Amino acid sequence: MSRSYFAIYLLFCLLIAIAVWMMSYSLILQLVWKDGRILHLMTTTNPFAPLQQFLVYSNSRPLRLAAIGSLVPAIAIAAAAAAFGLRRPANPLGDAAFQDTASLRRGGWFRKDGHIFGRAGRNTLRRKDDRHHLVIGPTRSGKGVGYVIPNALMHRGSLIITDLKGEIFEHTAGYRASKGSGVYLFSPGSAKTHRWNPLDFVRTDRGSRTLDLQNIASILIPETSGSENAVWQGIAQQVIAGVISYVLESPQYKNRRDLGEVNSFFNAGVDLQVLMKLIKEKEPDLSRFTSESFNAYIALNERAARSALLDIQKALAPFRNERVIAATNVTDIDLASLQRRPVTIYLAPNITDMTILRPLLTLFVQQTMDLLTREHNENALPVYFLLDEFRQLKKMDEIMNKLPYVAGYNIKMAFVIQDLKNLDEIYGETARHSLLGNCGLQLILGANDQATADYASRALGKRTIRYQSESRTLELMGLPRRTRVEQIRERDLMMPQEIRQMPEDRFILLVEGQRPIFQTKLRYHLSEPFKSAAKYAAEHPVDVPETEFVVTLPVPVLSTGDNQASNLDPETDEAPAPPDMQMTTENAGTGAKKVARSIRRRPGPNAVEKAKSTLTSSESAPAGNRRAQIERKLVPTGTRLKTAITASLAAAPDMPFSRRKNIQEILAQTIPDPAEIGLE
């Protein structure tokens, strides 16, 4: 029912009330006071005679009583007419409809604060509540100019926003800084960035520390349930958590506690199991968690160890980049103050680097979420996660699990995607339904795929359509007879094809507990105050520090200079040896201590050259001294290695010939020929 029809019908009911009042007034005078003159005038020459008499003689008590008594039938009849005429027709098949301007005003959509969704005429549609948002729209549908940038400009509180193109930072950072917000740009891999070290936020108390380490490991190496690799992924999580724990607690890693060092540990070029054994010998005071993680990896067979190591190296791939290492070695971004004062963080990796940097961004978002939900504070500042291009982030099960209750921590989530298939590809259909159920405000800016169009059409609901059919028949006398039949049927408020063909300047907003909204998109560069705010931001850019590269250092235990560390020299030509080719022996005759060696570890092509250079540098010395120097350097090492390999071969008479031959070749390459270096 339109507003004009409603107003006209109310005026009609008012006229009915006046007419009934005048008639009742005349009848009361006729029946009670036996005066029929007013009734006669009203029915003959002057229909307004009762009203005129009352206005002139309103001080008369009998006339006032007659007037008051006449109100009862007048009001009753007018109310009945209004109820009959304004009642809505029955809609047994559905009464879906969009909100009109009056209902929007009653619903509080024209407020001065809150999150921005679009325009209704000259008014901006804004909503302030604790419900999460889902924004769906294909490329160039106005997600950025209509939702992301306006809300990034006007949100009051802390903001974490993904900005893969760098446009949001350019158009909003300066304005937010002018409003008192701390502004940070985390752009790993770029020439300018603020820094964030995830290991700085690991708690130090025993129980919490273990949980934080396991959370980091599960984010870096997500476990794929039901996959054949799930076992290796679980082992890899345990091992990487143990190494992170070691880096955090070892005194040798002071001022070096970051994931770049963790990556260096796993790419040291030595046998990882032997390295862990050496660390346990040199640092016996390791925590229980670290020791058990090391023991779990040391106990693995060759295949399991290799599989776990490959998963770990793949997960740590971002930390092979010097700029990423520089961006994660210390922390500039104060995550702990997000709920105390306004802080704005832009996650802005180069879009071409997303494949490599995706795990790092996922770790940032999930770790921040963990920090914000550790303590419940009703007075906490609102934190707004605006995850533009949500599908570009890695699968984040923790966010999906926490989505139903993070609103209680004053945290609002906004997911911006291109279509529902984006969610199905990453999370599956079941998780998609859960996400949709937890997002009370769903902004649909367009649909290029059938799944999104079908969902929007179903969510809008059905309405009842009435139409009449007429049939004509001839009776016996030749007279026509008409029969009219009213039929009803249901229809989608908007059919899927209508949603796909929706005008470019229109949007649909699905609101939990309210009728949907169909209004006009907002363009921040055409509307105030967004236009002025964006202009200010462009004219007052925020300074971002240059990337400071970090000096790469070897694993501390490999640079201590003792004999065991030198035996694990990372400068090797081949990959670390598998666990089942580690050979140790004990020389009982001389009481020599146990020696651990990697079969694949060898001096490489520089070994002989090094020996020759030693010989050349000592040519001026007497022959005896030169011979003694070379023997002291080469003979003990060669003897121990030869003893170890010979003993191992003797202890394994069933070893295949090919493997025995390989070991003998390694022996020949490892111990230089005496004639070649001048001993014979």
For residue range 486-525, list pLDDT tens digits in order.
677 888 999 999 999 999 999 999 999 899 999 999 999 9
Pairing of strands 462-474, 480-492: antiparallel
Q: Using DSSP, state whether 414 is helix, strand or coil.
A: strand
The reply to whether 42 and 183 lie within a common domain is no
- Segment 513-541 mean pLDDT: 94
Question: Can you tell me the distance from the alpha carbon of 238 to that of 253, in angstroms, rounded to the nearest whole number?
Answer: 20
Query: For 581-607, what is each residue's pLDDT tens digit?
Result: 333 333 333 333 333 333 333 333 444
Q: Alpha carbon of 41 to those of 34, 52, 268, 640: distances in Å?
A: 15, 11, 114, 137
Beta carbons within 8 Å of 51's beta carbon, 6+ residues apart: 18, 22
The reply to whether 379 and 281 lie within a common domain is no
The reply to whether 380 and 418 lie within a common domain is yes
**What CATH number should be reported for the domain holding residue 359?**
3.40.50.300
Query: For 145-178, what is each residue's pLDDT tens digit?
Result: 999 999 999 999 999 999 998 899 999 999 999 9
Tokens of 588: 């009982």
Nearest CA to 341 out of 128, 159, 170, 153 is that of 159
Contact in structure between 148 and 431 (CB atoms under 8 Å) = no
The reply to whether 103 and 62 lie within a common domain is no
Has residue 554 been placed in a domain?
Answer: no
The reply to whether 78 and 103 lie within a common domain is no
Has residue 551 been placed in a domain?
Answer: no
Task: Tell me how many domains the chain contains.
Answer: 4
Has residue 393 been placed in a domain?
Answer: yes
Residue scoring higher pLDDT (217 or 673): 217
Residue 611 has pLDDT above 50, yes or no: no
The reply to whether 521 and 449 lie within a common domain is yes
Among 32, 52, 86, the domain-final residue is: 86
Has residue 564 been placed in a domain?
Answer: no
Has residue 141 been placed in a domain?
Answer: yes
Query: For 47-75, what is each residue's pLDDT tens digit?
Result: 888 888 888 888 888 888 888 999 999 99
Among 320, 345, 365, the domain-final residue is: 320
Within 267-353, where are the H helices? 272-282, 288-298, 302-315, 322-327
The reply to whether 587 and 451 lie within a common domain is no
Q: Taking the model in full, what pTM does it have?
A: 0.71
Contact in structure between 293 and 272 (CB atoms under 8 Å) = no
Among 258, 286, 320, the domain-final residue is: 320
Beta carbons within 8 Å of 446's beta carbon, 6+ residues apart: 136, 137, 138, 141, 500, 502, 504, 507
The reply to whether 162 and 65 lie within a common domain is no
- Segment 568-577 mean pLDDT: 42
Has residue 544 been placed in a domain?
Answer: no
Question: Can you tell me the distance from the alpha carbon of 619 to that of 508, in angstroms, rounded to the nearest whole number?
Answer: 89
The reply to whether 254 and 309 lie within a common domain is yes
Has residue 345 been placed in a domain?
Answer: yes
Q: DSSP string of 248-283?
A: HH-GGGTT--SHHHHHHHHTSSS-HHHHHHHHHHH-
- Segment 449-474 mean pLDDT: 84
Beta carbons within 8 Å of 217's beta carbon, 6+ residues apart: 237, 238, 240, 241, 244
Place of tokens 């009583």: 65
Q: Average model confidence (pLDDT) for the chain? A: 82
Has residue 566 been placed in a domain?
Answer: no
Rounded (5°) CA angle 402-403-404:
95
Residue 438 has pLDDT above 90, yes or no: yes
Query: For 291-333, what is each residue's pLDDT tens digit?
Result: 999 999 999 998 889 889 999 999 999 999 999 999 999 999 9
- Segment 631-647 mean pLDDT: 62
Range of the domain at 302: 202-320
Residue scoring higher pLDDT (142 or 94): 142
Q: What is the pLDDT of residue 131?
A: 93
Q: What is the pLDDT of residue 77?
A: 92
Q: What is the pLDDT of residue 634?
A: 62
Q: What is the pLDDT of residue 572?
A: 40
The reply to whether 516 and 588 lie within a common domain is no
At 489, the amino acid letter reads: R
The reply to whether 379 and 506 lie within a common domain is yes
The reply to whether 119 and 219 lie within a common domain is no
